[in-house]
Every structure is written in structure tokens, then in C-alpha cells.
A = this chain, B = another copy of it.
Amino acid sequence: MSELIEKLNWRYATKRMNGQSVPQEKLENILEAIKLAPSSAGLQPYNVVVIENKELKEKIYQSAAKQPQIPNSSHLLVFAAWEKITAEQVDKYMNLIASTRNVPLESLAGFQSNINNGILSRSEDVNFDWAARQAYIALGHAVVAAATEDVDATPMEGFDAAKLDEILGLREKGLRSVVILALGYRDGQQDPLMNAKKVRRAHEELFISI
């Protein structure tokens, strides 16, 4: 078994956290893993809100997500997908590629036209769902990175997205929250799931080999 698989077996959806802070270096590695997640066409059509403030976590807990790990997490990461994909965002991305790789913008015309035809032409709803999926790849990266840093991480969907968006002012930024990741440390005394055996479908139920 690889070290990564050991770490992934160690992790679980922590329901009770103990309030301990995740050190800055570990947090930065988790954020870097998010930043390095692949996305369709490389567009990264999402933002991630990083929340450490105690009062804000309490407010989110009370009004949007009554999940007990929230107030005792170290950080909450709110993955927020772009509500729509705009020509301005695509232009900005092209400029980013050109400046990062030191290539003329004109050399990217074919790629830009693929994005225009393939993505900009779709409906806002389709693009929002697509953006949300990309954010979930980044969530997967964050979960693995947290485990390798011995940090507990609990993904959460069961929250009131509209309320959370309001609390964080996301709609004004063209964003909608899609999933939360609580980071912190398991509370060994309080978490009934800490020693529960991991439940996963058997290899032959999950994989179809052809």
C-alpha cells in the first residue's frame, strides 16, 4: 500500500473537530493543491473563500449549515462556482497564458475560438453546472492534500447555499457556493464516527474492467 493510500484510509468525514488551528504552512499546501487542480480548458471557473474568523463561522453554522464541525473547524473553504462564463473572463485567461508563457496573444486565437464555440455558446445553466464540476475536482485535490498534511477535512453539501451566498456576499461577485470543506482536527472524545470502519463499495462493484 502506498503512503498516499494509508493517508486516505486515515481520513474520514470528521463530524466533530476540536478547535485546534491548522498551521499556516499546511494550509498553504492545501490551497496550492487546489490551485494546481486541472480544469476544463484550464479556465478554473471558480473561487475559493477561505474563512478563519470565529464569528463568521458561527454565523454560517447558525444560519446556513447546522453542522457541528463548522464552529470548531480551523478554516472553512467555500468553493464557489462562477455564475456564468463571460467573454471578459476568457480574455483575461488568454492574457494570463500569453504573459505566463511569453507567447503572443495572436498565437492563442485558435484556442480562444475553441473556448468561444465550446463554452461561451452554451446556456448559463449548463455553464454553471460545468463550473461546479470543475470546482469538485479542486475539492478532490484539497481532500487528498489535507490527508497528506495530517489535517482532517470534511466536505459538506447540506447547507443553504442561498443563505451562505448572502452571508459572504457571493452573488455580487458573480459566484454561487457549491460545496464547503471544513479543515481542522478530529475531536477524539466526541466524534462517534472516528473509529467506524470505512464503508466503500467493493472493487468489483465500483470498477468495470473491459
Contact = CB atoms under 8 A, between A and B. Distances in A.
Given A56-B210, A148-B2, A208-B47, A140 B37 contact: yes
Contacts of A97: 199
A141 interface: yes
B210 A168 contact: yes
Interface in A1-40: 1-2, 4-5, 8-9, 11, 13, 29, 31-38, 40
Given A118-B158, A144-B141, A8 B31 contact: no
A170 to B, nearest CB: 9
Contacts of A32: 1, 5, 8
A189 to B, nearest CB: 20
Contacts of A29: 1-2, 4-5
A206 B155 contact: no
Contacts of A37: 140, 143
A19 to B, nearest CB: 19
Given A47-B207, A51-B210, A143 B13 contact: no
A70 to B, nearest CB: 14
A132 interface: yes
Nearest to A168: B210
Given A49-B210, A158-B118, A31 B203 contact: yes
Shortest 6 CB-CB contacts between residues of A and residues of B: A140-B140, A136-B136, A8-B36, A137-B140, A144-B144, A49-B208
Given A5-B29, A38-B155, A56-B210, 17 more contacts: A8-B33, A31-B207, A37-B140, A42-B199, A47-B206, A49-B207, A49-B208, A96-B199, A100-B198, A118-B158, A133-B133, A133-B136, A136-B140, A138-B140, A139-B140, A140-B143, A173-B208
